[in-house]
Every structure is written in C-alpha cells, then in structure tokens.
Amino acid sequence: MTEEEFANLALKDERIATLEAALEPFGDIAGEGSDDFSDDTKVVVTFGRTTHYALRLGDLRRARAVRL
C-alpha cells in the first residue's frame, strides 16, 4: 500500500466515524417497542420553531443500523 493510499484510507475511516457520531441521536429515536410500526410510519420532528414531517421510521432504523 502506498503512502497516498494509506492517507486516503485514514481519511475514509475518519469520515465514517464522523458520520456514525452524527447518526447516533437519530438511531436512539428509533427506540425499543417500535417493531409494531412499519418503516413507512411518519415521524414528526420539531427543532425549535421548525417541524419536519418528511422523516419515516425506516430512516431512523437505518441510522440505528449504522451503529451496529
């Protein structure tokens, strides 16, 4: 492996760690007991004065799967 390839690999590992950390809170939202609901179940998220309606439970489950 060349020095450049090694550097690129290190950058990719760093990016993966950053993405996992960013997704962690969303994975926690999927929570236990959500097995009764399909991936298409809408999730409403409110940030201050902004309410987001486009998320689905499946989006949160995929975020949780990244941590596993």
What are 5-30's pLDDT values in tens digits?
999 999 999 999 999 888 888 777 76
What are 35-44's pLDDT values in tens digits?
788 889 888 8
- Asked if 33 and 67 touch (Cβ cutoff 8 Å), the reply is no
Between helix 57-67 and helix 3-30 the angle, nearest 10°, is: 130
What number is the average pLDDT over the span 30-53?
A: 83
Which comes out higher in pLDDT, residue 41 or 34?
A: 41
Q: What confidence score (pLDDT) does residue 64 get? A: 81
- Asked if 60 and 24 touch (Cβ cutoff 8 Å), the reply is no
Confidence of residue 61 (pLDDT cuts 50, 70, 90): confident
pTM score, two decimals?
0.65
